[in-house]
């Protein structure tokens, strides 16, 4: 049946992004606590119909690695779309990373392994359904009180992307080089974004430019740098008790080394781009391939209590 926007009472603002807001809400009838994402869209009713149809797909996604969705509706002023989803108490990896940094703590290899495994699980689920996530980054990976790690905000709706064109900048530092360059992209672009995200969590720092190098002038310089430069390795910090295993190093190498090793000319504009590097995404592994990586196989056999990890960070 149709959802009524008046059925949900706002409890608090969870966050704001480029496309809209996310609130913690309570269903007045059932008392159920949920997260409500409100996205501003075009006021065109034809667009809304199509949009809501496309968003139906979200309700059919059922995976331990994907945030549960409960339905979507048009808000009472007819210019926004509301998407109801599972409230994840520990917030996004982005907010967890802030807490980790504040405590001057580091993420252990065990915890990172479980994160990698969960993101790969979510990506594999989406990719089996021919969905590219398109926006893997720390703030779109959310964590429950139980320590489950799940993906949210994936690109099920072409109509949504179109109707948000005015508000959504479309640029993110987590975008794969082929996307930054406006080249065709595929589900492998999500694997790039996952690698970058894991690298950032491992180091409490976005990987570009590498530590010790001067900061870049601005966003364009940073994007150009990401396209052209190799990804830094995982660096040990024995003083903080961080020593990466050979398997972890190799997992990261699988993601980046094979993503940039092939240099070739951009065919579209051979003169202008004579010296451009194109990181060949065809060399990048699929999530399915990475599942078989020894680091992930090892991680999946481990007994890791992420609920305890989350509780410690939040002092629950
Ligand atoms: P962005 O992902 O760019 O930060 P969003 O509008 O998608 O912008 O989300 C804003 C914030 O809301 C996120 O950073 C996250 O911390 C929080 N959030 C999103 N979805 C959920 C959810 N299902 N449960 C808990 N917090 C969420
Ligand atoms: Mg988001």
ipTM of predicted complex: 0.99
Would you place residue 124 in the very low, low, confident or very high pLDDT band (cuts 50, 70, 90)? Answer: very high
Q: Which residues are bridge partners to 23 per DSSP?
A: 13, 36
Backbone angles phi, psi at 205, to 5 degrees: -165, 135
- Among residues 50, 55, 47, 66, the alpha carbon closest in space to that of 3 is found at 55
What single string gives the DSSP state of each residue in 189-247? HHHHHHHHHHHHHHHTS--SSPTTSPPPSSHHHHHHHHHHSPPPPP--BGGGTB---HH
pLDDT in tens, 5-27: 899 999 999 999 887 899 999 99
pLDDT band at 149 (very low <50, low <70, confident <90, very high): very high
The SS3 assignment for 209 reads: coil
More confident residue, 114 or 50: 114
Nearest-atom index, ligand 1, CA of 86? 23
Alpha-carbon gap, residue 140 to 133, rounded angstroms:
10
pTM value is 0.91
135 classed as catalytic:
yes
Place of tokens 């917030």: 91
Q: Are 194 and 255 in contact (CB under 8 A)?
A: yes
CA 99 to chain centre: 18
CA 186 to ligand 1 center in whole angstroms: 24
Give me 284's structure tokens.
């990048």
Radius of gyration of the chain (CA): 20
Say how many Å lie between the CA of residue 238 and the centre of ligand 2.
34
| Atom of ligand 1 minimally distant from the CA of 85 | 23
Model pLDDT for residues 157-172, shown as the tens digit of each residue: 777 766 664 444 567 8
Q: Which ligand is nearest to the CA of 143?
A: 1
Mean pLDDT, residues 267-292 taken together: 62
Asked if residue 48 has pLDDT above 60, the reply is: yes
Residue nearest to atom 11 of ligand 1 (CA): 15
Angle at CA 249, nearest 5°, toward 243 and 253?
A: 155
**pLDDT (tens digit, 9 = 90+) per residue, 301-314?**
999 999 999 999 99
Query: Quick check: helix, strand or coil at residue 85?
Result: strand
At 276 the pLDDT is 38
pLDDT > 70? residue 231:
yes
Model pLDDT for residues 237-279, shown as the tens digit of each residue: 999 999 999 999 888 877 664 444 333 333 343 334 333 344 5
Residue 137 has pLDDT above 60, yes or no: yes
Contact residues of ligand 1, CB 6 A cut-off: 14-18, 20, 22, 35, 67, 85-88, 91-92, 94-95, 139-140, 142, 152-153
Mean pLDDT, the chain, integer: 86
What distance in Å separates the CA atoms of residue 58 and residue 80, rounded to the nearest whole number? 17
- Given this model, what pLDDT does residue 265 score? 36
Q: How far is the CA of 138 from the centre of ligand 1 (A)?
A: 10
pLDDT in tens, 87-99: 999 999 999 999 9
Asked if 65 and 150 touch (Cβ cutoff 8 Å), the reply is yes
Rounded-to-integer distance, Cα 135 and Cα 116, Å: 16
Q: What are the tens digits of pLDDT across the range 180-213?
A: 888 888 888 899 999 999 999 999 999 999 888 8
Residue 52 Cα to chain centre, angstroms: 23
Share of the chain above pLDDT 90, in %: 56
């Amino acid at each position: 049946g149709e959802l009524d926007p008046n059925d949900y009472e706002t409890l608090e603002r969870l966050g704001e992004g480029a496309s809209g807001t996310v609130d913690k809400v309570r269903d007045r009838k059932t008392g159920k606590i949920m997260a409500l994402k409100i996205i501003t869209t075009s006021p065109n009713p034809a667009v809304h119909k199509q949009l809501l149809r496309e968003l139906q797909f979200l309700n059919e996604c059922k995976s331990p690695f994907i945030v549960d969705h409960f339905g979507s509706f048009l808000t009472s002023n007819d210019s926004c779309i509301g998407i109801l989803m599972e409230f994840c108490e520990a917030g996004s990896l982005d907010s967890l990373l802030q807490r980790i940094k504040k405590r001057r703590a580091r993420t252990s290899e065990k915890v990172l392994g479980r994160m990698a495994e969960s993101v790969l699980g979510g990506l594999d689920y989406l990719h089996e359904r021919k969905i590219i996530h398109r926006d893997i980054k720390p703030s779109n990976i959310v964590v429950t009180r139980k320590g489950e790690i799940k993906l949210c905000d994936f690109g099920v709706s072409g109509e949504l992307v179109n109707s948000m064109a005015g508000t959504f900048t479309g640029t993110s530092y987590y975008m794969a080089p082929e996307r930054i360059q406006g080249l065709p992209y595929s589900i492998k672009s999500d694997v790039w974004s996952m690698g970058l995200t894991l690298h950032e969590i491992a180091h409490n720092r976005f990987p570009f430019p590498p530590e010790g190098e001067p900061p870049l002038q601005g966003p364009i310089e940073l994007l150009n740098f990401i396209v052209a430069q190799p990804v830094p390795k995982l660096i040990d910090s024995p003083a903080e008790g961080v020593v990466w295993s050979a398997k972890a190093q190799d997992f990261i190498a699988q993601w980046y080394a094979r993503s940039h090793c092939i240099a070739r000319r951009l065919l579209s504009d051979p003169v202008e781009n004579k010296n451009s590097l194109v990181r060949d995404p065809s060399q990048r592994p699929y999530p399915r391939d990475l599942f078989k990586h020894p680091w992930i196989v090892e991680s999946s056999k481990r007994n890791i209590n992420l609920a305890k990890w989350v509780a410690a960070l939040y002092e629950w």
